[in-house]
Amino acid sequence: MEPRLLLVHFLRENAGLTGTHIGCETSLCGACTVLLDGRAVKSCTVLAVQADGRSVTTVEGLAQGDQLHAIQEGFWEEHGLQCGFCTPGMIMCSHDLLANNATPSDTEIREAINGNICRCTGYQNIVGAVKSASRKMSKRVSARAGAR
């Protein structure tokens, strides 16, 4: 592997995972956001070798078979996407947010996704999608707690 190979190119070209998109090559648009050891990173400015021995999660890794992740469900139900190009990055960024703040306010969501650009939706339904996911995930957590 070339030392200069970017993580996003490794994912797309070598691993065949094209769900992670390239929108700017300068870490400004967020379309290439993936999780590196659980934290959102913009994979267009991470070298593939920097991910050596670490865990990388892309949008393809969220759904369990036919069962969508709650964030994916949120985006579908709340019409949080139109052309869909920024969506994988938005979803991964939201994943990081919800892992650290299970019940974010509208303002917190807007702050959290402000490194991810969407040209289609005006963000309102993305905020709705993340809130919907937050509600579902909280419910599932409390259901699991209740079951114990």
Partner 1 sequence: MARNGKANGKNNGKSSVWVGKKLKRKEDPRLIKGISHYTDDLKLAGMLYCAFVRSPHAHAKINAIRTDAARAVPGVVKVVTYDDLTGVGVVPCAMQMPDLKIPHHPLLAHGRVRYVGESVAAVVADDIYTARDAAELIEVDYDPLPVVVNMEKAIAKDSAIIHEDFKTNVAFTHVMKNGDVEKVFAKADRVVKQRMLNQRLAPVAMEPRAVIAEYLPGENRLTVWSSTQIPHLLRTQISVMVGLPETAVRVVTPEVGGGFGSKLNVYREEGIVPWLAMKLGKPVKWAELRRENFLATIHGRDTINDVELAVKKDGTILGLRVNVLADMGAYHQLLTPLIPQLTALMIAGCYKLPALEINIKGIFTNKMSTDAYRGAGRPEATYLIERIMDIAARELGMDSLQFRLKNFPQPKEFPFTTITGLRYDSAKYQEAAKRALQLSGYDALRRRQKTGWKNGKYYGVGVSTYVEICAIGPSAATPAGGWESGTVRIEPTGKVTVLTGASPHGQGEETTFAQLIADELGIDPDDVNVIHGDTLAVPYGIGTFGSRGTAVGGTAAFMATQKLKAKLKTLAGHLLGVKPQDVTIGRGKILAKGGKKSMSFGELVGAAYVARNIPPGFEPGLEATHFFEPSNFTFPFGTHVCSVEVDGETGEIKLERYVAVDDCGNVINPMIVEGQIHGGIAQGMGQAMWEEFVYNDDGQAVTGTLMDYAMPKAHLLPEFILDRTVTPSPSNPMGVKGVGEAGTIGSTPCIVNAVCDALSPLGVRHIDMPLKPERVWNAIRQAQSQEKIPAAVAAGKKPAHKAVRRGA
Q: Can you give the binding site for partner 1, defined by CB under 8 A?
A: 2, 4-5, 12-13, 16-26, 28-29, 31, 58-60, 62-63, 68, 72, 75-77, 79, 81-88, 91, 106-107, 109-111, 113-114, 116-127
Q: Kindly tell me which of 50 and 142 has the beta carbon lying closer to partner 1.
A: 50
Do residues 113 and 97 make contact, with C-beta atoms less than 8 angstroms apart? Answer: yes
Distances (CA, A) of 148 to 46, 105, 108, 135: 40, 29, 31, 20
Q: At closest approach, how far in Å is the CB of 134 from partner 1?
A: 16
Backbone dihedral angles phi then psi of residue 56, each to the nearest 5 degrees: -120, 125
Q: Kindly tell me which of 51 and 94 has the beta carbon lying closer to partner 1.
A: 94
Q: At closest approach, how far in Å is the CB of 139 from partner 1?
A: 20
Q: How many CB atoms lie within 10 A of CB 10?
A: 20
Q: At closest approach, how far in Å is the CB of 145 from partner 1?
A: 28
Residue 11 DSSP label: I
Q: At closest approach, how far in Å is the CB of 79 from partner 1?
A: 5
Q: Kindly tell me which of 51 and 129 has the beta carbon lying closer to partner 1.
A: 129
In 3D, which of 20, 19, 15 has the Cα closest to residue 30?
A: 20
